[in-house]
Chains A and B, each alone.
Chain A
């Protein structure tokens, strides 16, 4: 494959997800921006100098070009940035037989849709571990970062940011307890987007079956009749989910469960509602 062909195949994938995300975000209920002047870093607008402003606020560079005095106003800094993390584990890039996408792809679509909405609201978005950005290119940048450089272990989020962790959360709850506690320590909160494949939920296997780890790991287990293990599996899965939920809520995160065979719209609404609420 020539390098360009490689880039093109990636580019062929991203617009699809972006389009899906845009469609999702267009259907989401109204989110309003907060474009107004305020303390912040980014330039917002020039306005006429008023007497009460005093000489210190005059923007001399702009004023020198004309005959009037101008004041440089900065945009009101958003209270936080929205940061996204998608689990890069091979198990997350897996799907069972069926017309649904992989868990990672669905997570990417949901994250980008949320990113578009935030970005439209004037907030900064970015992949966790990358500096958040605002503006029109931020979504494309987020898409690239999420699909190319997602760290296996999410770095600590910056203070007061909203963090969206998308994963299947099959790792032991203790692992997540550590991470979320660290996030809570810097007043970062957010959402745990738990994405599950229908096969993981329903356990449709029967007959003599050997289950193996995704990504070629050595772990495996064999059942003479897989259907016999279904009930116990369901119980254990529920217990695991409950542990994750408890952990999340203790750290101020909202857990959202989404199945890849269901429509992504409701999940996006839940996600946005959870984030709006905490703002």
Chain B
């Protein structure tokens, strides 16, 4: 039922409003309850009449307050919701059609779009109309008419809907719309706000099928139409639809999502802008994608496949990398990283992979097939960079730019006249011209070229004494360059200087002209999807049915279901990407024909009001409660006490969650026997029952009157109120938690007595058997040294004189902390370990008979031991001096036998 902009889901509840006047009079007639006080001189009060007593009615404003609360509650139970569109929905019949633009252009505001669709479904549900959802993105399957579902099914379908990484295609959508029959009661088009070729025709067609409401986002999506690494960083172009958001930022990220850098952009004039992120080239080279900050869509993401725009340089690795960080390869690899992609391998393999340059560190003869491959590649325009070294000095082998003299020249050192040499300034015809050689770069050893051969070659750099140090010579269309020193720092400091990087960079610049000697050979391999973008611009593993894309189709591929955007690779190892937004992506405003209603995505959502109303009603009732208390005089009259009361109340609430801490009794108010919760319910029950029986005997026989037996959790409870803790071994003892261990250690240090009952006296234990319960229970505890207690121990005479300590077992052993260890506590043991299963022996029934299956005598002796134990815990070594009685009597000249 609708009422203005309100919709009531349970309108019958509103009938209760009719009862409000009756309620009003009922409330009016009921006086507030009085405050009740006891008053001894009541006799004197009797018979006093005051005129106010007649006024027994509740005050009017209080009644109004209560009636208001009742009205609020009734409205709340009618389950109202604010649904401005509900009225419009009421008219018409037939299904509701929801047209959903689900391309990446909708991804930035997808939750809003979904909520809008949800709201449309809810409206349809209230009107009892079925729902059809028409998605506008193209699909690989042949077009089918949208299904007409019940609202609940439509909602489930909607919840599974995610934006696609391509644009909507309204022409295709129109085809699908035409497959659907009949008129629609209402059409809600949740658009992305971006137009395309078929948008207008689609809108016209929608208009013919029913009343159309187009809901557009407040800000349309933007696209990154290009992105590449340049010499000074990363450059990207951003395009927006006319009237789209005017400023923003782009960020470059690694494949793992680590941010490398960001730059702001602002559209000035046009709708395309170039943004630049300034980054050092070696960092820029690590960028794997660029995205528009804060816009999660496939179109706002630009993928940069690894190595794109960088020379692929092959490092010929002859397989002697036992110490990878010390090898010459490592120096070269690090030096070229900022500007080239290095790949290691054999020469032939590298050439097949399309290496534009090869670097060959110190090497002796190459194998014949390798050599042949290199020669052929050089003829086609390859660049070979070689380094010298001991092996080359011994056995120089082609291809080389110059002929080398056998052996090497050593500069400096014990047996040489010459000093290590620096570099000459680079000549004007050298590619290194303009670089400055640092004075501390010294060459200690080099290979020398035959001077005659230098005429055919080019000398790019010389030492201070004129010896050539970098030479180059063409081979076919290619080039061979030789550094006359090692690639590492063995022969010179070159590899340690920044000059090395610059020199290699300029050397590898020649790789550009040597492009693709071998590349065309394997161009037929198709591209396979490695990771694909989803509509939000996140990379995911491709579906199993992802199709390979032929290389010929790949370069022209735009994002579509057949060619989904993402990272691709092909057999040769070449990585490439299809991006969601093409460089010529057009983003235009969505043009709609007249007669179509438009609304924003964020406007007019249905809001349920019932909860709020009921909550407000409760609040009013709570106020009423305080008012009633105040009227009855039950509230403290002094305002100064109110904050204190409120604070106490808040404090009480804050303490409330830890109900464990709120014991009804304060354990320190009485003396309690206590046992440790072991988690084994049976053991805990036995321990409690045993201690209860022992406490009963203590009450009967001694001045000790223990309160109820307490179970404690050493990990949480304060143990200090308990003079003795009984720890009854569970069936399977476990190690205590660290908190419990710390607490028990503290307990023993503070003078508590921990009595561990391992209950295993009857069990035989051979060598090699599992460790006893004591070993497990004591794990982690700061246990003092123990000794077996002797006939003179205070336990034998604290209350009863005992010779043995039978529990459920006759022969028991008890270990106590040694007197020496307990010296700081006057010799009173803090830890006792016994094995007699005493708790079982202590348990007695109501008439005091033993329940543990033992004889009366044994029960009695066990109880006597228990009493002695508690006495020791309470009185310490008070009775220990009785040990000396015989000696004292002897000293007094009397025979101990005669002592009475």
Q: How far is the CB of A184 from chain B (nearest CB, A)?
A: 25
Q: A209-B34, A210-B34 are in contact. Are A237 and B632 (CB under 8 A)?
A: no
Q: A209-B633, A212-B39 are in contact. Are A224 and B46 (CB under 8 A)?
A: no
Q: How far is the CB of B753 from chain A (nearest CB, A)?
A: 25
A229 touches B40 (CB 8 A): no
Q: How far is the CB of A231 from chain B (nearest CB, A)?
A: 10
A212 touches B52 (CB 8 A): no
* Segment touching B, from A113-121, A200-208, A250-258: A200-208
* Segment touching B, from A12-20, A153-161, A213-221: A213-221
Interfacial chain A residues near B36, Cβ < 8 Å: 209-210, 212
User: Is A197 interfacial (CB 8 A cutoff)?
Assistant: yes
How many positions in chain B have a CB within 8 Å of any CB in the partner chain? 29
Closest-by-CB residue of B relative to A103 is B40
Docked pose: A225 CA to B48 CA in angstroms: 12
Docked pose: A42 CA to B250 CA in angstroms: 116
Docked pose: A223 CA to B219 CA in angstroms: 70
Q: How far is the CB of B702 from chain A (nearest CB, A)?
A: 13
A214 touches B46 (CB 8 A): no
Binary flags per residue of B31-61, CB closer than 8 Å to A gives 1, else 0: 1111111111111111010111111100000
Our pick among B31, B37, B46, B705 for the contact of A209 (Cβ within 8 Å) is B37
B37 touches A170 (CB 8 A): no
Q: A208-B631, A224-B52 are in contact. Are A200 and B40 (CB under 8 A)?
A: yes
Closest-by-CB residue of B relative to A205 is B37
User: Is B519 interfacial (CB 8 A cutoff)?
Assistant: no
A237 touches B41 (CB 8 A): yes
User: Is A6 interfacial (CB 8 A cutoff)?
Assistant: no
B42 touches A213 (CB 8 A): yes
B37 touches A211 (CB 8 A): yes
Closest-by-CB residue of A relative to B36 is A210
User: Is B746 interfacial (CB 8 A cutoff)?
Assistant: no
A223 touches B42 (CB 8 A): no
Q: How far is the CB of B636 from chain A (nearest CB, A)?
A: 11
Our pick among B41, B46, B55 for the contact of A200 (Cβ within 8 Å) is B41
A223 touches B53 (CB 8 A): yes
Q: A208-B35, A219-B46, A221-B48 are in contact. Are A91 and B40 (CB under 8 A)?
A: yes
Pair count A-B, CB < 8 A: 101
Interfacial chain A residues near B699, Cβ < 8 Å: 2
Docked pose: A214 CA to B36 CA in angstroms: 12
Interfacial chain A residues near B32, Cβ < 8 Å: 208
User: Which residues, 850 to 896 on B, are CB-close (under 8 Å) to A?
Assistant: none
User: Is A232 interfacial (CB 8 A cutoff)?
Assistant: yes
Interfacial chain A residues near B48, Cβ < 8 Å: 221, 223, 229, 232-233, 236
B41 touches A212 (CB 8 A): no
Our pick among B38, B40, B50, B56 for the contact of A170 (Cβ within 8 Å) is B40
Interfacial chain A residues near B46, Cβ < 8 Å: 219, 221
B35 touches A237 (CB 8 A): no
Binary flags per residue of A30-48, CB closer than 8 Å to B gives 1, else 0: 0000000000000000000
Interfacial chain B residues near A168, Cβ < 8 Å: 40-41
Interfacial chain B residues near A224, Cβ < 8 Å: 50, 52-56
Docked pose: A199 CA to B42 CA in angstroms: 12
How many positions in chain A have a CB within 8 Å of any CB in the partner chain? 36
Docked pose: A92 CA to B40 CA in angstroms: 8
Interfacial chain B residues near A205, Cβ < 8 Å: 35, 37, 633
Interfacial chain A residues near B50, Cβ < 8 Å: 223-225, 228-229
Closest-by-CB residue of B relative to A239 is B44
Q: How far is the CB of A238 from chain B (nearest CB, A)?
A: 10
Q: A205-B37, A207-B35, A210-B34 are in contact. Are A240 and B52 (CB under 8 A)?
A: no
B42 touches A220 (CB 8 A): yes
Interfacial chain A residues near B31, Cβ < 8 Å: 208
Docked pose: A228 CA to B50 CA in angstroms: 6
User: Is A222 interfacial (CB 8 A cutoff)?
Assistant: yes
Interfacial chain B residues near A223, Cβ < 8 Å: 48, 50, 52-53
Q: A221-B48, A225-B50 are in contact. Are A170 and B43 (CB under 8 A)?
A: yes
Docked pose: A221 CA to B46 CA in angstroms: 7
User: Is A100 interfacial (CB 8 A cutoff)?
Assistant: no
Q: How far is the CB of A70 from chain B (nearest CB, A)?
A: 44
Q: How far is the CB of A213 from chain B (nearest CB, A)?
A: 5
Interfacial chain A residues near B51, Cβ < 8 Å: 228
B40 touches A210 (CB 8 A): no
Docked pose: A171 CA to B31 CA in angstroms: 33
Q: A206-B633, A229-B45 are in contact. Are A214 and B40 (CB under 8 A)?
A: yes
Q: How far is the CB of B56 from chain A (nearest CB, A)?
A: 7
Interfacial chain B residues near A172, Cβ < 8 Å: 43
Interfacial chain B residues near A237, Cβ < 8 Å: 41, 44
Interfacial chain A residues near B54, Cβ < 8 Å: 224
A207 touches B42 (CB 8 A): no
Interfacial chain B residues near A222, Cβ < 8 Å: 34, 53
Interfacial chain A residues near B44, Cβ < 8 Å: 170, 233, 236-237, 240
Docked pose: A223 CA to B736 CA in angstroms: 65
Docked pose: A112 CA to B33 CA in angstroms: 44
Docked pose: A168 CA to B44 CA in angstroms: 12
Closest-by-CB residue of B relative to A219 is B42
Q: How far is the CB of B770 from chain A (nearest CB, A)?
A: 47
Closest-by-CB residue of B relative to A97 is B37
Closest-by-CB residue of B relative to A234 is B44
Q: How far is the CB of A107 from chain B (nearest CB, A)?
A: 13
Docked pose: A200 CA to B34 CA in angstroms: 19
Interfacial chain A residues near B631, Cβ < 8 Å: 207-208
A221 touches B42 (CB 8 A): yes
B37 touches A212 (CB 8 A): yes
Closest-by-CB residue of A relative to B699 is A2
Closest-by-CB residue of B relative to A169 is B41
Interfacial chain B residues near A199, Cβ < 8 Å: 39
Docked pose: A206 CA to B632 CA in angstroms: 9
Nearest 5 CB-CB pairings of A with B: A91-B40, A207-B633, A228-B50, A224-B52, A225-B52
The 15 listed contacts between A and B (C-beta, < 8 Å) are A2-B699, A197-B40, A199-B39, A207-B34, A208-B35, A211-B37, A211-B42, A213-B42, A214-B38, A214-B39, A219-B42, A223-B48, A224-B53, A225-B53, A233-B48
The chain A residues found within 8 Å of chain B, CB to CB, are: 2, 5, 91-92, 94, 168, 170-172, 197, 199-200, 205-214, 219-225, 228-229, 232-233, 236-237, 240
Contacts A168-B40, A208-B32, A212-B38 given; 5 further ones with Cβ under 8 A? A2-B705, A208-B31, A209-B36, A210-B34, A210-B35
